[in-house]
Amino acid sequence: MKQWFDNKAVGTFAEDTVDWPRVIPYILLHLTCLFVLVVGVSWIAIVIFAASYFIRMFAITAFYHRYFSHKSFKTSRFVQLAFGFLGATATQRGPLWWAAHHRHHHKHADTEKDTHSPRHGFLRSHTLWFLTKKNFPTNEDRVKDLARYKELKWLDRYDVVPPIIYAFLILLLGTYIEHVHPTLGATKWQILIWGFFISTVVLSHVTFLINSLAHRWGYRSFDTDDDSRNNPLLALLTLGEGWHNNHHKFPASVRQGLRWWELDVSYYLLLLMEKLGLVWDLKKPEGTKVQEQRV
């Protein structure tokens, strides 16, 4: 059980097979959602589910992806840690592991070396790749710029801690609602199931769809060396990540929706954070360069 809580307890493996003992918590996370049949639903549970989904999706898209993986803007060490912690609550491992694999993906997109290309099959691309022994360790050589921060290395080693803390806070919120606002008809367990478990599972699989569908389904605005596609539905669900062909053409850009109608909520929120002085030096491609390189 130590390997469930300390990633250093797991060695480096060469086998490209699913590490079933290691992924038991991932399986239990999904099975726990079935308790919704017991706790039921209320409008306040749906609101908390949506808010929990939204804020953590932003942490994944804006920080795990655009900041940690691509350095598309700058921020303070405190904000970096805060959103690194919040991103880890989404149970998508630590920021170093996430960024290391994503940088590898861009370097080898849709080739034999791409660990989650849909060319290897939908299920492999969607989930199986990160459940294997081979892809479990964090390759710190790919993220030396991030590995110099001790707090980020700690998050990466003990990535199970943030979800546990987050689930406990959701349970406290549910306890407050149950006892202080009983007319809302919600229990603490209902809030926990909807606010943490269901929200986390939906958030995870929507994120995974960028790997499994955004290289298969959509339109291409730019000629790239991979199969990336722009997908409006995925862009809506992921706060802008679905403009994947745009992203593969301009990976360092903080803005992924490049046409006026390509909604990019994460970018808009980062602009707001820039106004507040929380982030700065947002990288964007020149408009003329974008127009010249369109298909």
pLDDT at 235 over 70: yes
**Per the domain annotation, does 56 fall within a domain?**
yes
**Per the domain annotation, does 128 fall within a domain?**
yes
pLDDT of residue 21: 86
**Per the domain annotation, does 241 fall within a domain?**
no
User: Can you give the pTM of this predicted structure?
Assistant: 0.95
**Per the domain annotation, does 206 fall within a domain?**
yes
**Per the domain annotation, does 205 fall within a domain?**
yes
pLDDT at 143 over 80: yes
pLDDT of residue 11: 67
**Per the domain annotation, does 281 fall within a domain?**
no
pLDDT at 292 over 80: no
**Per the domain annotation, does 287 fall within a domain?**
no
How confident is the model over 179-186, as a mean pLDDT?
96
pLDDT of residue 242: 98
DSSP 65: I
pLDDT of residue 138: 92
pLDDT of residue 290: 84
DSSP track, 75-126? E-HHHHHHHHHHHHTTTS--HHHHHHHHHHHHHTTTSTT-TT-GGG-HHHHH
pLDDT digits (tens, 9 = 90+) for 209-220: 999 999 999 999
**What are the residues whose beta carbons fall under 8 Å from the beta carbon of 182, sequence distance 6 or more?**
none
DSSP track, 5-30? H-GGGS------SB-TTTTHHHHHHH
pLDDT digits (tens, 9 = 90+) for 35-82: 999 999 999 999 999 999 999 999 999 999 999 999 999 999 999 999
How confident is the model over 10-29, as a mean pLDDT?
85
Question: Considering its fold, how many domains does the chain have in total?
Answer: 1
pLDDT of residue 5: 85
**Per the domain annotation, does 190 fall within a domain?**
yes
How confident is the model over 221-227, as a mean pLDDT?
95
pLDDT of residue 283: 96
Lowest mean pLDDT: which of 14-28, 83-97, 157-171, 222-236?
A: 14-28
How confident is the model over 87-92, as a mean pLDDT?
98
More confident residue, 124 or 293: 124
pLDDT at 201 over 70: yes
Q: How confident is the model at residue 288 (pLDDT cuts 50, 70, 90)?
A: low
Domain that holds residue 141: 25-223
pLDDT of residue 140: 94
DSSP track, 161-207? HHHHHHHHHHHHHHHHHHHH-GGG---HHHHHIIIIIIHHHHHHHHH
Q: How confident is the model at residue 239 (pLDDT cuts 50, 70, 90)?
A: very high
Give the Å distances, CA to CA, from 66 to 48, 61, 207, 233, 253. 26, 6, 14, 20, 8
How confident is the model over 263-281, as a mean pLDDT?
98
How confident is the model over 185-211, as a mean pLDDT?
97
Are the beta carbons of 94 and 276 closer than 8 angstroms?
no
How confident is the model over 122-142, as a mean pLDDT?
93
pLDDT of residue 4: 80
